[in-house]
A = this chain, B = another copy of it.
């Protein structure tokens, strides 16, 4: 951004660009993504790309992977000290409160995010906390939706990675009397779960399933083999019962579990969707966009990514990706931990007023030696 000085009104020359946050970025590793969101992954990569040193609090679910990841990344860095690693709950506490830490990133559970937020709230000065946490990821199937493959697609997305995606679909709204719940039951019965990543995740899943146990079981898959193996499970209820039990009934059960909510009239959906907590994603299945307009308006305020006739698991690292959403999906809904925009979390602007050309960063010099795109006197150039 460059605004040249003007005489009328008298305004100085002003130029602004981003610099790395003046400090260390603390990253809390996720249990669920040993590569995509732990020592390696979007949080660390975007912070290093911004120019910040990073200290990762390793997750105790994969200590060796963490250490090997650190060594491999360090070998590609100009200075290995740019990536530190600490272990254990006490080290995590000290990291979140350390005066040199300028921001913290975490992609994991709601309780984990709340614990980190509480540590940060104790600091004498606030720092940003970019947590991408729990998400129930509602999917609304409208009457005009194509039905073939729908139940199988849902079951595949629900059970991908034994359901250990923050974007797997935990809430499916379907029109009653259409045979869709029965198709979903058939598809889920044909699935096989498998081992969850840690004992704690397995226990959390079983607690969540017990909580849903007061509802009608719709289907269950096979547990599969291995330690901490669990079977996919789906429950069902109708829209009125669901609405009466909000918000607790819609809490995320992390793993391959979902709730199928049947409705009679799609016009009743928006008022119920308006009462959901925030999610990372929301999905509509329909063939008629006009039929979906009111449901889409509701979901726009409840999720950071809206999906049409697809499934929410899987996120592409692209310019336009947004992986965030209203609380509890995220602690900072304006930001994303996936995609090119993830770097923005670790940057702060500086404005230079009447600054001499010799001290200006090259990006802000009149001759633009780096040829970067800029807004000059209000016009993109």
Contact = CB atoms under 8 A, between A and B. Distances in A.
B358 A319 contact: no
Contact of A318 (B14, B292, B304, B358): B14
Interface string A291-325: 01100100011111111111000001011111010
Given A12-B310, A16-B320, A349 B327 contact: no
B12 A319 contact: no
A334 B128 contact: yes
A4 to B, nearest CB: 10
A352 B310 CA distance: 11
Nearest to A287: B356
A1 interface: yes
| Copies of this chain, count | 2
A191 interface: no
Nearest to A358: B289
B355 A1 contact: no
A322 B306 contact: no
Contact of A305 (B293, B310, B336, B351): B351
Contacts of A320: 1-3, 14-16, 351, 375
A126 interface: yes
Contacts of A307: 12, 353-355
Nearest to A338: B351
A290 interface: yes
A318 B376 CA distance: 11
A359 interface: yes
Nearest to A305: B351
Given A22-B301, A380-B380, A334 B347 contact: yes
A378 interface: yes
A305 B350 contact: yes
A65 B301 CA distance: 35
Nearest to A317: B11
Interface residues of A, number: 68
A333 interface: yes
Contacts of A16: 319-322, 341
Contacts of A303: 350
Contacts of A3: 316, 318-321
A126 to B, nearest CB: 5
Contacts of A296: 359
Interface string A262-298: 0000000000000000000000000001101100100
A304 B293 CA distance: 43
Contacts of A49: none
A336 B310 contact: no
Interface in A334-364: 334, 336, 341, 344, 347-356, 358-359
A292 to B, nearest CB: 7
B14 A304 contact: no
Interface in A118-140: 121, 125-129
A270 to B, nearest CB: 14
A328 interface: yes
A1 B309 contact: no
Query: 4 closest A-B pairs (Cβ-Cβ)?
Result: A125-B327, A322-B351, A1-B320, A22-B301
Interface of A: 1-3, 11-12, 14-16, 19, 21-22, 117, 121, 125-129, 289-290, 292-293, 296, 300-310, 316, 318-322, 324, 326-328, 331-334, 336, 341, 344, 347-356, 358-359, 373, 375, 377-378, 380
8 contacts: A14-B318, A121-B121, A125-B327, A126-B332, A292-B359, A305-B350, A308-B352, A310-B353
